[in-house]
């Protein structure tokens, strides 16, 4: 299971409908809203670029 970086919910990588890549890594999301928030400002959720 992956952890949604936005809301911290567990997401099954095999069935996740929402995902995005950043810095060579794939992130999985519980919903489109979390994916959009991540794509708008990925550094906020990855801890990189602070």
Q: What is the pLDDT of residue 33?
A: 98
The string of pLDDT tens digits covering residues 2-50 is 999 999 999 999 999 999 999 999 999 999 999 999 999 999 999 865 4
Yes or no: say if 42 and 22 are a contact pair by the CB < 8 Å rule: yes
Q: Which pLDDT belongs to residue 49?
A: 54
* Number of domains within the chain: 1
Task: Say if residues 27 and 47 touch (Cβ distance below 8 Å).
Answer: no
Q: Is the C-alpha dihedral spanning 11, 15, 27, 32 positive or negative? A: negative
Residue 40's domain comprises 2-46
How many angstroms separate the CA atoms of 11 and 29, rounded? Answer: 7
Cα→Cα distances 43→5, 14, 50, Å: 11, 25, 7
């Amino acid at each position: 299971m992956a952890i949604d970086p936005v809301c911290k919910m567990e997401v099954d990588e095999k069935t996740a409908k929402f995902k995005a890549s950043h810095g060579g890594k794939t992130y999985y999301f519980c919903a489109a809203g979390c994916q959009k928030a991540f794509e708008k400002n990925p550094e906020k959720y990855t801890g990189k670029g602070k």
